[in-house]
Amino acid sequence: MKKICLLGASGSIGKQTIDVMKKNRQDFDLISFSVGKRTRCISSLIKSFPNVKAICIKDKNKINYYQKKYPDISFVYGDEGLLKVIDQDVDMVVNALVGFVGLYPTIYSLKKNLIVALANKEALVVGGEIVNDLLNQGFGKLYPIDSEHSAIKKCLLVDDQNIEKIVLTASGGAFRKLSREELVNVTPEDALKHPTWKMGNKITIDCATMVNKSFEIIEAHYLFNYPYDKIGIKLHDESYVHSYVVYKDGTMRLDIGKPDMRNPIRLALYEFNTSFKTVTVNRLDQIVGYHFHDFDINRYPVVNFAKTVIENKGTYGAVFNAANEVAVNAFLNHQIPFLAIEEIIDCLMKKNKNINHPTYEQILEIDRKTRQNAAEMVKNWRK
Ligand SMILES: NC(=O)c1ccc[n+]([C@@H]2O[C@H](COP(=O)([O-])OP(=O)(O)OC[C@H]3O[C@@H](n4cnc5c(N)ncnc54)[C@H](OP(=O)(O)O)[C@@H]3O)[C@@H](O)[C@H]2O)c1
């Protein structure tokens, strides 16, 4: 029985993790979890998992109500609270937080030698070097939840010899049929209509801008240790091929399945020690009924930011992520137009005075400053 701490239980990945745990009660128990603003799920989770010992709520003012209602459970709050729920007697931390807030709990869990099932890709974008240093020193273990990385890991587990490159598939997001000229006036409401996946708001916007794919390239670099030019992108309409590897003889190994995050979540919870299938082909058109298109960097220039982060490392990832978080929020609040997101990132990335091998504290400071600069840009947008 694996004892689980679930960070971000109220979110899209969090809820689907609960689904997987409920289906496999004999193997997983929930010991602690966190929620942000959405506290409604707390009571039902306590009912479903009676061994819950600690719960973190983002806001302090909601603690008293729940503490009175459930006196045997420890209620904690804020960023510190996220660490306190990890401090329970758990084997695995499922990190389903969104954004920068997911980095420190990842570092903290690994330092405690815990197993991390990671959905929070921002942790690797911002702190990939720190995370890998810990793993290389033998602290903890880390398994990806992101479907593309889960797919690549499956393929590499079957055969990791003579790899030419790894290829991440991309739906292209809500605006995949639009030209760049047509992106000028798109709204947040349009951007939130993802063609194939139902996800949290932030990642759905990241898919529309392709920042998500850019993040995934960085994530793949840190997880699998391939340079930027060995990580490709293929546009794929149906989101059934989750990613693939290309071998030196031209053959390919793919992971194919329904777009349902419960599959990669399940695999990560079982640390990939469970049966799975991959498929080999000589050409993609051998897979009947699925559509693939070449990726055009001119249509999605944000993917160049992944190259900058991978080739320069240091604080570039922190700047990329912080600028994006502020810009996405501003776009969702109708403060800036869609294309301003990449303009803000581009401007702040160009201003980055890189720090090699930054500490967590240096990253935190860069995150703070970048947010301030991005907020300033939002405030003065085309005044
Ligand atoms: N959704 C997907 O299908 C999918 C697929 C692949 C990868 N991912 C990655 O998985 C991560 C989670 O995505 P998601 O779609 O599940 O996002 P989501 O639905 O927005 O959920 C995010 C979770 O984090 C919590 N949270 C947000 N800010 C917080 C803060 N400052 N302090 C504490 N908790 C906070 C939220 O709490 P409240 O909602 O209660 O405020 C919620 O529980 C992201 O990194 C995303 O890129 C998601």
Provide the 10 A C-beta neighbour count for residue 246: 18
Residues 116 and 166 in one domain: no
Of the three residues 120, 144, 168, the one that is the final residue of a domain is 144
126: domain CATH number is: 3.40.50.720
Question: CA angle 147-152-153, nearest 5°?
Answer: 95
In sequence order, which residues have a C-beta less than 8 Å from that of residue 332 and are 6 or more positions away?
188, 201, 205
Residue 58 Cβ < 6 Å to ligand 1: yes
209 by DSSP, 3-state: which? helix
Q: What are phi and psi of 333, to 5 degrees?
A: -90, 15
Residue nearest to atom 29 of ligand 1 (CA): 36
Residues 134 and 45 in one domain: yes
Residues 235 and 360 in one domain: no
Q: Is residue 299 part of a domain?
A: no
Residue 261 Cβ < 6 Å to ligand 1: yes
H helix or E strand, kind and range, residue 217: helix 211-224
The alpha helices in 74-210, defined as continuous H runs, are: 78-86, 103-111, 122-136, 147-158, 188-191, 201-209
Residues 283 and 363 in one domain: no
Residues 129 and 76 in one domain: yes
Q: State the pairing for strand pair 2-7/92-95.
A: parallel
Q: How far is the CA of 102 from the centre of ligand 1 (A)?
A: 9
Q: Is residue 9 part of a domain?
A: yes
Q: How far is the CA of 18 from the centre of ligand 1 (A)?
A: 14
Closest of 295, 369, 312, 305 to residue 343, by C-alpha:
305
Residue 101 Cβ < 6 Å to ligand 1: yes
Residues 116 and 7 in one domain: yes
Q: How far is the CA of 144 from the centre of ligand 1 (A)?
A: 15
Residues 285 and 233 in one domain: yes
Q: How far is the CA of 25 from the centre of ligand 1 (A)?
A: 24
Q: Which amino acid is at 46?
A: I
* 32 strand-pairing partners: 5, 54
Q: Is residue 253 part of a domain?
A: yes
Closest of 176, 187, 146, 137 to residue 332, by C-alpha:
187
pLDDT of residue 174: 86
Closest of 215, 224, 200, 208 to residue 151, by C-alpha:
224
From 63, 199, 210, 321, the mutation candidate for ligand 1 (largest count of ligand atoms within 8 A of CB) is 199
Q: Is residue 303 part of a domain?
A: no
Residues 109 and 217 in one domain: no
pLDDT tens per residue, the chain (383 residues)?
999 999 999 999 999 999 999 999 999 999 999 999 999 999 999 999 999 999 999 999 999 999 999 999 999 999 999 999 999 999 999 999 999 999 999 999 999 999 999 999 999 999 999 999 999 999 999 999 999 999 999 999 999 999 999 999 999 888 988 989 999 999 999 999 877 777 889 999 999 999 999 999 999 999 999 999 999 999 999 999 999 999 999 999 999 999 999 999 999 999 999 999 999 999 999 998 999 999 999 999 999 999 999 999 999 999 999 999 999 999 999 999 999 999 999 999 999 999 999 999 999 999 999 999 999 999 999 87
Residue 8 Cβ < 6 Å to ligand 1: yes
Q: Is residue 306 part of a domain?
A: no
Residues 269 and 327 in one domain: no
Residues 133 and 155 in one domain: no
Residue 219 Cβ < 6 Å to ligand 1: no
Contact of 150 with 268, CB cutoff 8 Å: yes
pLDDT of residue 382: 80
Q: Is residue 40 part of a domain?
A: yes
Residue 151 Cβ < 6 Å to ligand 1: no
DSSP state of 324: H
Q: Is residue 304 part of a domain?
A: no
Burial 120-154 (b: 16+ CB within 10 A, else e): bbbbbbbbbbbbbebbeeebbebbbbbbbbbbbbb
Of the three residues 144, 165, 198, the one that is the final residue of a domain is 144
Q: Is residue 283 part of a domain?
A: yes
Q: How far is the CA of 83 from the centre of ligand 1 (A)?
A: 17
Residues 153 and 192 in one domain: yes
Total tally of structural domains belonging to the chain: 3
Of the three residues 111, 144, 177, the one that is the final residue of a domain is 144
Residues 44 and 69 in one domain: yes
The residue range of the domain holding 107 is 2-144
Give the separation between CA 7 and CA 322, rounded to whole angstroms. 20
From 203, 207, 371, the mutation candidate for ligand 1 (largest count of ligand atoms within 8 A of CB) is 203
371: domain CATH number is: 1.10.1740.10
Residue 13 Cβ < 6 Å to ligand 1: yes
